[in-house]
Amino acid sequence: MRIFLIGAGQVGTTIAEALYDEHQLTVVDLDASRLGGIAHRFDVATVQGNGASRRALQEGGIRDAELVIACTSRDEANIIAAMLAKKLAPAARTIVRTANPEYLEVWRERQLEVDFMVSSEEETAHAVSRTVGVPAARQTDVFADGQVQVVEFDVEPGVRADGVVGLPLREAAIPPDSKVASIIRGDQAVVPRGDQSIQVGDRVVIIGSPEAARAWSALMARGKRRVDDVVVWGAGRAGTAIARQLLERNIAVRLIEADRERAREVADQLQSVRVFHATGFDPDFLERERVGHATAAVFAMRDDAKNLYGATLARLHGVQLTIALAHEKVSVEVFERAGIDVAINPRQLTAEEIVRFAHDPRTQQVAMLEGDRYEVLDVTVRPESALLNRPFRQLPMTGSLIGAIVRDGRAIFPHGDDVLLPGDRAIIFTDARRATEVERTL
Amino acid sequence: MTAAAQRWPTARRRRGGVDVAAAANLVAELTTYLSAAFALPTAAALWYGESPWPFAGAAAITLAAGLGVGRATRGRERVGLREGFLVVSLTWLVAAAVGALPYLLSGEEQLSSPIDAYFEAMSGFTTTGSSVLTDIPDLPRSLLLWRQLTQWLGGMGIIVLALAVLPRLRVGGRQLFQSEAPGPEVEPLSASIRSTARRLWLLYLALTVAEVAALSAVAVTDLDPEMTFFDALAHALTTMPTGGFSPRGRSLEEFGAATQWVVIAFMVLAGANFGLMYVALVRRDGRALLGNEEVRLYLLLLALAAAVLAVDLGAHGVAAGEHAVRAGAFQAVAIMTTTGYASADFAVWPALAAAVLVGLMFVGGTAASTAGSVKVVRHLLIGRILRRELDQTVHPEIVEPIRLQRMPVEERTVRAVIAFFLLYVTLFAAGTLVLMFDSEIGGLGLAPFEAVAAAATTLGNVGPALGPAGPMGSFQPFGDASKIVMILLMWLGRLEIVPVIVLFTVRYWRK
């Protein structure tokens, strides 16, 4: 595959390292010395220039690219680069890195012509969430004003889902109002027939109601200890993203922020978080607020040294689980040597997620483009469809799956006895080769 | 002339920090338009065969004075932020003077003293409803109607009305609007203040017409033989502005149960948020109104107060059954919404009931209603501020915004609410002391709790007090000094203190 990589910082370098062996890489960056470093280590072509400039992209030969990854630290430059790429290389899929949760939201609502968007903050929040034992759902698609969600989970070792994992699907206790749309195992996607089962290490795609998504989230939780009190140091973008994610999972969060104005801003935004204006290094403060009793302490400040110091202090105060962000690659090892339980490198995570996407068999399904293997369709059922008025249990199982029906603006999650009516909108997960056939049948 | 002076024509001529002439010019213009209000009582006088001259004369004087001052201050039309406070405060002083003219010109004996006439007019425009009259039905009907009309004009606000119709106020209107409109922050219904003002007045007019219709229906269906069309109109004109004047000597006591229940319903509406009511009506969705924290608390407090009164009246055998429920509900609603009607002489009610009623004088309606007093939203905010203070004593580093409807409230607004409440309490205490002092010297023999009630009722724009100034009594016996103090309290209360009280600070007048 011909891959165009814009941005040769820490994220770009990690991606290049993972992909250069199997693919043809062209790397664009403003900084010649960074390009020199990357070209020295890996066998890639380099172009010095602005990734958001048409000339630089054309010069690099973007016309033939199949995948364009824009991962500079500037959100707007990344988006413009991806948009230009869509025009200059119509066949290419685009991946954009962003730090702004609003862009992510806009992209999810399909207002941005980008195939995949990754946010370091969001990935970091997922990672923290997983570490404290409540895995975050990766929401990929939303239909019918949020009534139908397409969500995916990593099935990690030690999940509590005894009634689901390892059992044939027809016997598994699947939460109501949800269906397993696909099971991703390695780079294979398994059609979820009744005799198939979910295994540890899989990624599962679920179509269901928001409540069902929460039920799945609970199922996929690890361990028995309930997490109910997490203290987060630093209310920057990463800190607030972590707080938001944990809140969504009903975990009480306390935020400590040293900057008064930022503290107020975050307190305004997050109603149920208790925000403190403090450095978080004052032993009196830590004692007064009983920080030692927290189930976990997360250090999301910008400075690795502060994160390390804070985490060590928190351990002294008796916190059981310390998680710290390590912005520099080398810090990960330093942190682990120092006894911090988990060190998270946001850029590393971002790069990993981008690489995973590049390898994902369903890449094009997420983007809903033609020509790849899987798609989620949103089809209105025609009055002359052959599938009308037949109970679902009688419909053939063919690798396409109707996850939900939207009738009169309300979502229904069909059971065996339900029937399709003309005018229904069906949310369907399907093999892309069958997409046209599915659309014709309906 | 220098270039700078050309660009800022008033800068050269303005001596102090405030352009008094410019403010006077705008007040004069507003006054001029006010003369049109005499059309209704003039027509009523002709219809009932009474003398129209008090109104024609008052209109002529108003017009002449307005045009005269307007001419003298011509060319001074730039009203800035500072002049805004002066304009609002002066407008209400002048409006009360205009309102007093027909009383004086009519030669009516009860209102022959200028202070009494001015008290009655200020009580009218500020929608207080305290009266110096001792024999109300003795007045000519046209004069009674004028008395009702002053309250109706003052209810939604003279300046809000002017904003809706006068093209000149397109500039700088927002601040004038906020100074006069009730509540800490009235949320504009539209991007333009002008159309917000129009919508508020439209709803106000519509509700008044609805009440006239409802009370007329009571009259036509003979549910209440006492009710006439004149009474329907007169009471609608003073219910919607939460005014409380009645052309009847014993207020609503003279009417039957049907009338009283209708009036209770409209008083509850008058004390509720007009902006939210407008949204609820236009979108046909009551959630905007009933989902509002302040409106919920308002309704809860009304229900609670009504229940306490009903139980107390029942326990003392003052009333029983439906009558107790109705009397409790009517009086709780009438006092808390600062309307000030009475369906019974509560001055002779048991002590608990009297104490509850005086307490309710400090509550008021919701923001953006026509009610006066402190207003429910401020009580709600103060409760939350206190809760935060307590939280902060235990957790000194906590950062906790005060929220209203889940939205964070700016700290500036929080401070303004505290300041307002402190000013309110201070003025109330000072007013009480002066009334006590004057009563001791003048030999009025006011009991302390009666002085408390009189200060609270005038500052809160409620109307009746206790003792001699009770609902069936009159403010006539008070001395002139007391009357002037109460006039000031009504004026301060209606404009929510701050726009008036800044005029009494040195820094306001400095450059």
pLDDT at res. B64: 95
Structure tokens at A240: 């607030």
* A384-442 residue pLDDT tens: 777 777 777 777 666 677 888 888 778 888 877 788 888 788 888 776 667 667 777 77
- Closest Cβ–Cβ partner in A264, A271, A277 for B397: A277
Helix, strand, or coil (residue B382) = helix
Order across the sheet with A67-70: list the strands.
A45-48, A24-29, A2-6, A67-70, A93-98, A116-119
| Residue B137 in contact with partner chain A when CB distance is under 8 A | no
Name A27's bridge partners: A5, A46
Angstroms from A263 CA to nearest CA on chain B: 7
| Residue B397 in contact with partner chain A when CB distance is under 8 A | yes
CA A315 and chain centroid, separation:
30
The answer for B 411-430 residues in CB contact with A (under 8 A) is none
Asked if residues A176 and A164 have their Cβ atoms less than 8 Å apart, the reply is: no
**Chain A residue set in contact with B, beta carbons under 8 Å:** 257, 260, 263-264, 267-268, 271, 274-278, 285, 288-289
The residue of B399, B410, B413 whose CB has the most chain A CBs within 10 angstroms, and thus the best one to mutate to test that interface, is B399
Nearest CA in chain B to A271: B406
pLDDT at res. A364: 36
Q: Give me the torsion for CA of B498, B503, B505, B507, rounded to 10°.
A: 110
Its CATH architecture, for the domain A125-219, is 2-Layer Sandwich (3.30)
Judging contacts by C-beta atoms under 8 Å, the chain A residues touching residue B395 are: 274, 276, 288-289
Axis crossing angle, helix B257-270 with helix B229-239, rounded to the nearest 10: 30
Nearest CA in chain B to A264: B399
The residue of A275, A282, A286, A290 whose CB has the most chain B CBs within 10 angstroms, and thus the best one to mutate to test that interface, is A275
pLDDT at res. A133: 67
CB atoms within 10 A of CB B420: 19
Angstroms from A234 CA to nearest CA on chain B: 14
The answer for B 59-78 residues in CB contact with A (under 8 A) is none
Q: Which residues of chain B have pLDDT under 50?
A: 1-13
Asked if residues A158 and A186 have their Cβ atoms less than 8 Å apart, the reply is: no
Model confidence at A205: pLDDT above 90: no
| Chain length of chain A | 442
pLDDT at res. B169: 65
Cβ–Cβ below 8 Å for B401 and A278: no
Name A299's bridge partners: A233, A324
Cβ–Cβ below 8 Å for B408 and A267: yes
Angstroms from A288 CA to nearest CA on chain B: 8
Judging contacts by C-beta atoms under 8 Å, the chain A residues touching residue B396 are: 288
Angstroms from B294 CA to nearest CA on chain A: 19
> Which of residues A162 and A365 earns the better pLDDT score?
A162
Asked if residues B225 and B176 have their Cβ atoms less than 8 Å apart, the reply is: no
| Domain locations in chain A as residue ranges | 2-98, 125-219, 230-350, 374-441
* B48-97 residue pLDDT tens: 999 999 999 999 999 999 999 999 988 776 777 788 888 889 999 999 99
Cβ–Cβ below 8 Å for A276 and B400: no
- Closest Cβ–Cβ partner in B395, B396, B400 for A267: B400
Judging contacts by C-beta atoms under 8 Å, the chain B residues touching residue A257 are: 399
Cβ–Cβ below 8 Å for A264 and B406: no
Nearest CA in chain A to B402: A268
A203 confidence band (pLDDT: 50, 70, 90): confident
Interface ipTM > 0.95: no
Judging contacts by C-beta atoms under 8 Å, the chain B residues touching residue A277 are: 397-399
Asked if residues B466 and B449 have their Cβ atoms less than 8 Å apart, the reply is: yes
Judging contacts by C-beta atoms under 8 Å, the chain A residues touching residue B398 are: 274-277
pLDDT at res. A372: 44
CA–CA distance, B122 with B161 (Å, rounded to integer): 18
Asked if residues A38 and A16 have their Cβ atoms less than 8 Å apart, the reply is: yes
* A106-137 residue pLDDT tens: 887 778 888 888 888 988 998 888 777 666 56
Helix (H) or strand (E) holding A211: helix A210-219
Order across the sheet with A425-431: list the strands.
A374-380, A425-431, A401-407, A410-412
CA–CA distance, A267 with A278 (Å, rounded to integer): 13
Its CATH architecture, for the domain A374-441, is 2-Layer Sandwich (3.30)
| Residue B398 in contact with partner chain A when CB distance is under 8 A | yes
Judging contacts by C-beta atoms under 8 Å, the chain B residues touching residue A235 are: none
- Closest Cβ–Cβ partner in B395, B397, B406 for A271: B406
Structure tokens at B139: 């007045």
Cβ–Cβ below 8 Å for A268 and B408: yes
Helix (H) or strand (E) holding B213: helix B193-220
A18 confidence band (pLDDT: 50, 70, 90): confident
Instruction: Please indicate whether the domains covering A125-219 and A374-441 agree at the CATH topology level.
Output: yes
Across A257-261, average pLDDT: 95
| Residue B395 in contact with partner chain A when CB distance is under 8 A | yes
Structure tokens at B7: 């660009």
The residue of B397, B400, B402, B405 whose CB has the most chain A CBs within 10 angstroms, and thus the best one to mutate to test that interface, is B397
Model confidence at A142: pLDDT above 90: no
The residue of A266, A282, A289 whose CB has the most chain B CBs within 10 angstroms, and thus the best one to mutate to test that interface, is A289
**How does DSSP classify residue A198?**
B
Judging contacts by C-beta atoms under 8 Å, the chain A residues touching residue B387 are: none
pLDDT at res. A370: 27
Angstroms from B188 CA to nearest CA on chain A: 22
The CATH H-level (homologous superfamily) assignment of domain A2-98 is NAD(P)-binding Rossmann-like Domain (3.40.50.720)
Q: What are phi and psi of A418, to 5 degrees?
A: -70, 155
Nearest CA in chain B to A258: B397
Please report the number of interchain residue pairs, chain A to chain B, with beta-carbon separation below 8 angstroms: 32
Which of these, A221, A22, A229, lies nearest to A131 by C-alpha position? A221
Cβ–Cβ below 8 Å for B398 and A274: yes
Angstroms from B397 CA to nearest CA on chain A: 5
Domain A230-350 has CATH 3.30.465.10: no
- Tokens 């003979």 belong to which residue? B222
Angstroms from B193 CA to nearest CA on chain A: 28
Model confidence at A211: pLDDT above 60: yes
Cβ–Cβ below 8 Å for B400 and A268: no
Cβ–Cβ below 8 Å for A276 and B401: no
